[in-house]
Structure 1
């Protein structure tokens, strides 16, 4: 089966095979707690590497930035707090929050093919085409936080440049899905 590459031409069988292999790296990153703690099916984010429900009754809210009166920014600043605040101090990055309710992008435990379909579905991904998706994963400061989470949090295990390269390989082939 051929898929359309990002440039509108058909991906070669070799390009499609490389893209599907690259998607395994994308999946590994997306399923890591640094990403999946906020890409949740419900409205209560998860926290820590063991993915426990967020303390203090924190919820997504109407725009993804917390409930009225308790926005994410009440605890999460624009950057991580100094190490002197302790290992479990609230982390920080610009525009801390969850995806909005109408684009939850909830993928915890999804099989690779379903995750793949969700990522490239503009109706579910905030109307992002492949170029916007690549920009999001390569430049967004909240996404980048996953590789420098502070405290005792484990960073995403795949180096960011390798992840972006894998994501581009997948996107440039038109986003073929495994299975």
Structure 2
């Protein structure tokens, strides 16, 4: 009898949660999927994908060449012991007078840690969408934290001001943030 009551209470709770969940119209879903195409374009750009890699060697340049000097992710994503990313990558880009290929910089320069690589080079849109939402693979971030990460994190913002002769992310940051929010606010639907 007790388990029946518990089952009934759980069923009622599930129905209440479903009833309270905001409904998304087909138009909103279509707008969200269109917005996600913008999010995908940004995530797949070399400024982002050069560090979101399946292996352990970051990539460089728009050609996505393996990083010189055998640089690797390391145990925390901050480079190998004895050769941390911060050895070459400072807290900011070097002044304009430096070489066009001088190492760029931004606060907390690093790759994602090895247990949460967030590797999306060549990943289909539906899988990328799922990965962004999966707290086990995205640094334990809910969607609000993901939004804050893409809209405020200084290392993410570096993609729009990469210094040297690097090509910035082609989608303006404000447009990207608006697209992410549109997608997120509609329940973050994934492409079919």
Q: TM-score range by the shorter chain?
A: over 0.9
Partner of 1:26: 39
Larger Rg computed on CA atoms: 2
**Structure 1: segments with no counterpart, 5+ residues:** none
Q: CA RMSD in A?
A: 1.2
TM-score, structure 1 as length reference: 0.95
Tell me: CA distance 1:8–1:102, structure 2 relative to 1, closer, same or farther (3 Å). farther
Moved over 6 A (4+): none
Partners of 1:104 and 1:173 lie apart in 2 by 26
Give the 3-state SS of the residue equivalent to 1:177 in structure 2.
Answer: coil
2:105 is the alignment partner of 1:66: no
* Number of aligned residues: 174
Partner of 1:11: 24
Cα offset, 1:10, TM superposition: 2.8
Of 134, 139, 147, the match for 2:152: 139
Partner of 1:48: 61
Partners of 1:143 and 1:8 lie apart in 2 by 31
Of 92, 104, 116, the match for 1:79: 92
Partner of 2:142: 129
How big is each residue's C-alpha offset from its partner over 1:122-174, in whole Å with a ceiling of 9 and x where there is no partner? Answer: 11001111100100000000000000000000000000000000000011111
Q: RCO higher in 1 or 2 (8 Å CA, sep ≥ 6)?
A: 1
**Structure 2: segments with no counterpart, 5+ residues:** 1-16
TM-score, structure 2 as length reference: 0.88
Cα offset, 1:30, TM superposition: 0.3
Cα offset, 1:21, TM superposition: 0.6
Of Structure 1 and Structure 2, the greater helix share is in 2
Cα offset, 1:85, TM superposition: 1.4
